[in-house]
Chain A
Amino acid sequence: MAYSDKVIDHYENPRNVGTLDKNDRNVGTGLVGAPACGDVMRLQIQVSDDGKIEDARFKTYGCGSAIASSSLVTEWVKGRTLDEALTIQNKDIANHLALPPVKIHCSVLAEDAIRAAIEDYKKKKGLDG
């Protein structure tokens, strides 16, 4: 199976790989896994006082599509509000990266990860999930 150019680009030059301090009150962490393939993905967001995502980092142990999906999502969420970030759908990710049907679950994983990170942040802040 051939990867699309965009997947290869994100795989070879992943954006925003790394770690934010998960104990920081302004950082939300989402850790999700895909049982079907054994991939694991951590996505973290740092939220400013006015509710914008000012930084995002990821670490993904999985296939090229999973790495590309999480890399893309960190790019997309930066500068967005939490509500805007929640509008990101797995199909937008899959379309952008031209993922084949067998790799759609990688984009689902990335969507789950951003949702989990936002949920974690809201829980820390005592906001409604």
Chain B
Amino acid sequence: MACWQCGADIDAAELFCPTCDTLQPPDPGTDHFARLGLERRFEQDAEAITKAHRRLQRTLHPDRFVSRGDRVRMLSLQHATSLNDALRILRDPLLRAGYLLDLAGRDVKAEAGNIKLDPAFLMEVFELREAIGELSGTDAHVERGRLARDIAARYESRLAALGERLDAEGERTSAELDGLARQAAQLRYLRNILDDLQALG
């Protein structure tokens, strides 16, 4: 593609034109892993993600372009927004797993229908929710704490198992991907319960 400023022929992944050093639009073909210069996989070093984000924001943040033209400032804002999205999604292991599935063609955030949850699992979640709602009295917070530790342990071990399967070598069948998407959806339920328990204190 051509640099929008000087017309030089450049790679779409270039942040700045090598000829005129002008900021280029974010490459629509770049995923969040590539955006932060990370390998596309579940296993990540949280510290490395934060560092990559900070390093790139120093180069691309709108603060660096305040005296430049409208187009450059708009482009820098687009870059900064994409970088923040990448940080938010990749730093959170569950969102990261969902994003990997998304890249593999399984949109776990899709509006409806394409993931069928096991009715027994839904029942388990519902009953757990009801039980938490019915806790009362002076010991309620103790019981909530016990439940939170219980669910957190399940959440962590299931998340680790999902991560291992996501990083496993080799092609995956469509059915296997569906299974992984279901696991990710189940983890979303457990995570919501954990978040709510935490909010209750």
A residues adjacent to B (C-beta < 8 A): 31-40, 42, 59, 61, 104-105, 108-109, 112
Contacts and interface: CB of A to CB of B under 8 A. Distances in A.
B197 to A, nearest CB: 12
A108 B112 contact: yes
B115 A35 contact: yes
Interface string B120-160: 00110110011000000000000000000000000000000
A37 B188 contact: yes
B189 interface: yes
B169 interface: no
B93 to A, nearest CB: 15
B62 to A, nearest CB: 24
A112 B109 CA distance: 18
A35 B111 contact: no
Contacts of B125: 33, 40
A38 B188 contact: yes
Given A40-B189, A105-B112, A112-B112, 6 more contacts: A35-B188, A36-B185, A36-B188, A40-B125, A61-B129, A61-B196
A108 to B, nearest CB: 5
Interface in B79-112: 108-112
Contacts of B182: 35
Contacts of A31: 119, 122-123, 126
B191 interface: yes
B192 interface: yes
Contacts of B108: 35-36
